[in-house]
């Protein structure tokens, strides 16, 4: 997997047989923690939720986020959302990973 950072938006194919979204667009919270990519699946969010997350990410404390991505999601991101979009992805099952412009993911 190429080098991606917290706050990057990516699109990829996910080869986990039980996955509901085989082509997620994800805002990365932590690119690799114990072999998993942690992030927010943008496909599950409304346009207003995407805008709120993007605004929040601009002012985030990255050190806090990297220490415990799930706690950061629950305390800082989830309150902005109607649905729960936090997901972890096994890096070994990710293919065709491409960085996308987050602004293009928000209409």
Query: Does some domain include residue 26?
Result: yes
Query: Does some domain include residue 3?
Result: no
| 35 three-class SS | coil
pLDDT tens-digit profile of 21-73?
A: 999 999 998 899 899 999 999 999 998 988 888 887 777 666 666 667 778 88
Specify the residue for token string 């496909």.
Answer: 43
Query: Does some domain include residue 13?
Result: yes
Q: Which of 87, 30, 99 is nearest to 60 (CA)?
A: 30
Query: Does some domain include residue 4?
Result: no
Out of 4-18, 38-52, 61-75, 90-104, which region has the weakest mean confidence (pLDDT)? 61-75
Q: Which residues pair with 37 in a beta bridge?
A: 89
Percent of the chain having pLDDT more than 70? 86
Domain count of the chain?
Answer: 1
The confidence score (pLDDT) of residue 93 equals: 97
Query: Does some domain include residue 92?
Result: yes
Query: Does some domain include residue 37?
Result: yes
Within 7-107, strands assigned E span: 9-14, 25-33, 36-41, 86-90, 94-100
Question: Which pTM does this prediction carry?
Answer: 0.84
Residue-number span of the structural domain to which 67 is assigned: 9-105
Q: How many helices (H) and strands (E) does the chain have?
A: 4, 5
Query: Does some domain include residue 2?
Result: no
Query: Does some domain include residue 56?
Result: yes
């Amino acid at each position: 997997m190429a080098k991606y950072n917290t706050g990057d938006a990516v699109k990829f194919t996910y080869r986990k047989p039980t996955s509901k979204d085989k082509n997620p667009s994800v805002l990365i919270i932590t690119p690799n923690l114990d072999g998993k990519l942690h992030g927010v699946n943008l496909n599950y969010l409304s346009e207003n939720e995407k805008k709120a997350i993007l605004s929040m990410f601009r002012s985030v404390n990255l050190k806090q986020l990297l220490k415990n991505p799930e706690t950061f999601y629950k305390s800082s991101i989830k309150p902005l959302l109607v649905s729960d979009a936090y997901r972890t992805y096994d890096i070994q099952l990710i293919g065709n990973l491409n960085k996308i412009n987050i602004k293009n993911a928000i209409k």
